[in-house]
């Protein structure tokens, strides 16, 4: 194979399929036999726009196969999870395991690229692991011009869930080599399918860039969330404040919500904090503000429920952001599940992206309803996710009800 993509998750599978669609012969590697089987049958195990078609075509054309065994390849792309362990410390054990399984298959001239969001220094750590297992190969030296017997680089994914297939091709890419030659080698792969610019730098800078992008967004969302809590305290409308402040030519405030979810923005800032704990007061506070916003939202809904003890409560949305069926690390789900624990029989949940309530709600009495039915039956309404499917709701149906709109959807 020309390219082996290690980890067939939200990033690896779309990347493998896109590479195949640009003519590369690709082997996708995953530890899960179920995932491998699904892909080899031309199917997908994750929901993402256009992905099923792309995978089906690639498998049909015999340009993509999946396997649990590591093949020999010219390029290896590592796209495995890097979760947060206890104490908010990054866990790179899956990347290390991938490096160990790639090492025996490497021949001179091969290129290993890490795509997983990683703490600073991870790419060099991959080099150390490979170097220990393959004393016959010389590793590139950080900061030097020339490569070693193999090339090592870091190229973070930056795609937005829901738009992965298009953004894989259209986004600019940052490609950090352990040495200059490594970056050029890795860039040759990306330039074959990326329509955006491929910007070359060193591995440590590229690792930091990825963490900084998501921390930037987290800090900016925290500012909006903090404003929303100030507005609640002084009883003004935060949406008016933001709309009017944003008419200043150099102000651009993001949108508050029920907290920050997903597996990236709520996690990656901790990788920066772990790298320099004393220097990251702002980034840490932003994380705390965004986590606190979920708690604040829950308290506001509880206060409305207490004011009307017999009332049913409609909760709109469980996903971590609009128009997506992904509930992992979702503040909306967390808030709803927490309310369901003692007030479940009062909850009417509306979530067009599921046919049944997630496990957290089993036995709580909470019901999954269509929007119209829930609005009819509820006296308290909380908007947690601004799915497009909610945007046309009949405002007259809200007359006389207590409403808490965490996304400013009704205002818009």
Catalytic center residues: 210, 264
Instruction: Examine residue 182 and tell whether it contacts ligand SAJ (CB under 6 A).
Output: no
Q: Which of 255, 280, 297, 364 binds ligand SAJ (CB under 6 A)?
A: 255
What tokens does 189 get? 């792969």
Instruction: Examine residue 160 and tell whether it contacts ligand SAJ (CB under 6 A).
Output: yes
Pairing, β 89-90 against β 84-85: antiparallel
Q: Which of 54, 260, 286, 402 binds ligand SAJ (CB under 6 A)?
A: 260
Instruction: Examine residue 164 and tell whether it contacts ligand SAJ (CB under 6 A).
Output: no
Q: Which of 206, 264, 289, 409 binds ligand SAJ (CB under 6 A)?
A: 264
* Interface segment toward ligand SAJ; rule CB under 6 A; list 81-89, 120-128, 213-221, 373-381: 213-221
* Interface segment toward ligand SAJ; rule CB under 6 A; list 50-58, 132-140, 147-155, 156-164: 156-164
Q: Which is nearer to ligand SAJ, 147 or 261 (CB)?
A: 261
Q: Which of 261, 269, 298, 317 binds ligand SAJ (CB under 6 A)?
A: 261
Instruction: Examine residue 262 and tell whether it contacts ligand SAJ (CB under 6 A).
Output: yes
Write down the least CB distance from residue 374 to ligand SAJ, Å. Answer: 21
Instruction: Examine residue 147 and tell whether it contacts ligand SAJ (CB under 6 A).
Output: no
* Interface segment toward ligand SAJ; rule CB under 6 A; list 47-55, 94-102, 158-166, 176-184: 158-166
Site string for ligand SAJ, 96-135 (x = CB under 6 A): ---------------------x------------------
SS3 string, the chain, reads CCEEEECCCCCHHHHHHHHHHCCCCEEEECCCHHHHHHHHCCCCCCCCCCHHHHHHHHHHCCCEEEECCCCCCCEEEECCCCCEEHHHEECCHHHHHHHHHHHHHCCCCCEEEECCCCCCCHHHHHHHHHHHHCCCCCCCCCCCCCCCCCEEEECCCCCCCCCHHHHHHHCCEEEEECCHHHHHHHHHHHCCCCCCCEEEEEHHHHHHHHHHHHHHHHHHHHHHHHHHHHHHHHCCCHHHHHHHHCCCCCCCCCCCCCCCCCCCCCCHHHHHHHHCHHHCHHHHHHHHHHHHHHHHHHHHHHHHHHHCCCCCEEEECCCCCCCCCCCCCCHHHHHHHHHHHHHHHHEEEECCCCCCCCHHHCCCCCEECCHHHHHHHCCEEEECCCCHHHCCCCHHHHCCCEEEECCCCCCC
Instruction: Examine residue 159 and tell whether it contacts ligand SAJ (CB under 6 A).
Output: yes
Instruction: Examine residue 265 and tell whether it contacts ligand SAJ (CB under 6 A).
Output: yes
Q: Which is nearer to ligand SAJ, 297 or 364 (CB)?
A: 297
- Binding to ligand SAJ (CB under 6 A) within 286-345 occurs at 320-321
Site string for ligand SAJ, 40-79 (x = CB under 6 A): ----------------------------------------
Cα–Cα dist 72/208, whole Å: 30
Q: Which is nearer to ligand SAJ, 203 or 305 (CB)?
A: 203
Instruction: Examine residue 217 and tell whether it contacts ligand SAJ (CB under 6 A).
Output: yes
Instruction: Examine residue 213 and tell whether it contacts ligand SAJ (CB under 6 A).
Output: yes
Q: Which of 257, 269, 298, 317 binds ligand SAJ (CB under 6 A)?
A: 257
Q: At what angle do helices 203-234 and 281-307 cross, to 10 degrees?
A: 40
Binding site for ligand SAJ (CB under 6 A): 117, 157-161, 213-214, 217, 221, 254-255, 257, 260-262, 264-265, 320-321
């Amino acid at each position: 194979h020309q390219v082996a993509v290690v980890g067939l998750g939200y990033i690896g599978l779309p990347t493998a399929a896109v590479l195949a669609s640009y003519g590369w012969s690709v082997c996708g590697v995953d530890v899960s036999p179920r995932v491998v089987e699904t892909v080899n049958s031309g199917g997908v195990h994750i929901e993402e726009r256009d992905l099923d078609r792309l995978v089906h075509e690639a498998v049909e054309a015999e340009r993509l196969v999946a396997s649990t065994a590591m093949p020999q390849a010219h390029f290896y792309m590592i796209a495995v999870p890097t979760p947060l362990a206890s104490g908010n410390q990054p866990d790179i054990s899956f990347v290390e395991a991938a490096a160990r399984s790639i090492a025996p298959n490497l021949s001179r001239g091969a290129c290993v690229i890490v795509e997983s969001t990683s703490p600073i220094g991870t790419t060099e750590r991959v080099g150390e692991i490979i170097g220990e297992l393959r004393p016959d190969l010389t590793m590139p030296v950080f900061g030097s011009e020339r490569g070693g017997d193999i090339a090592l680089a870091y190229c973070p994914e930056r795609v937005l869930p829901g738009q992965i297939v298009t953004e894989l091709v259209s986004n600019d890419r940052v490609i950090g080599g352990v040495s200059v030659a490594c970056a050029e080698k890795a860039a040759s792969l990306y330039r074959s399918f990326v329509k955006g610019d491929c910007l070359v730098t060193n591995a440590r800078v590229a690792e930091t860039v990825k963490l900084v992008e998501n921390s930037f967004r987290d800090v900016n969302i925290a500012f909006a969330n903090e404003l929303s809590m100030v507005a609640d305290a002084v009883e003004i409308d935060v949406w008016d404040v933001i709309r009017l402040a944003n008419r200043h030519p150099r102000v651009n405030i993001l949108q508050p919500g029920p907290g920050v979810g997903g597996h990236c923005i709520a996690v990656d800032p901790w990788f920066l904090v772990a790298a320099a704990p004393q220097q990251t007061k702002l980034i840490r506070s932003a994380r705390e503000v965004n986590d606190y916003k979920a708690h604040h939202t829950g308290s506001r809904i509880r206060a409305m429920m207490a004011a009307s003890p017999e009332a049913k409560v409609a909760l709109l949305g469980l996903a971590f952001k609009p128009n997506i069926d992904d509930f992992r690390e979702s503040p909306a789900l967390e808030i709803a599940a927490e309310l369901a624990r003692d007030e479940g029989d009062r909850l009417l949940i509306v979530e067009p992206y599921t046919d049944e309530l997630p496990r957290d709600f089993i036995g709580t009495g909470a019901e999954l309803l269509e929007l119209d039915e829930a609005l009819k039956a509820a006296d308290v309404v909380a908007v947690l996710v601004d799915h497009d499917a909610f945007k046309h709701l009949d405002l007259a149906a809200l007359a006389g009800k207590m409403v808490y709109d965490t996304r400013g959807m009704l205002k818009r």
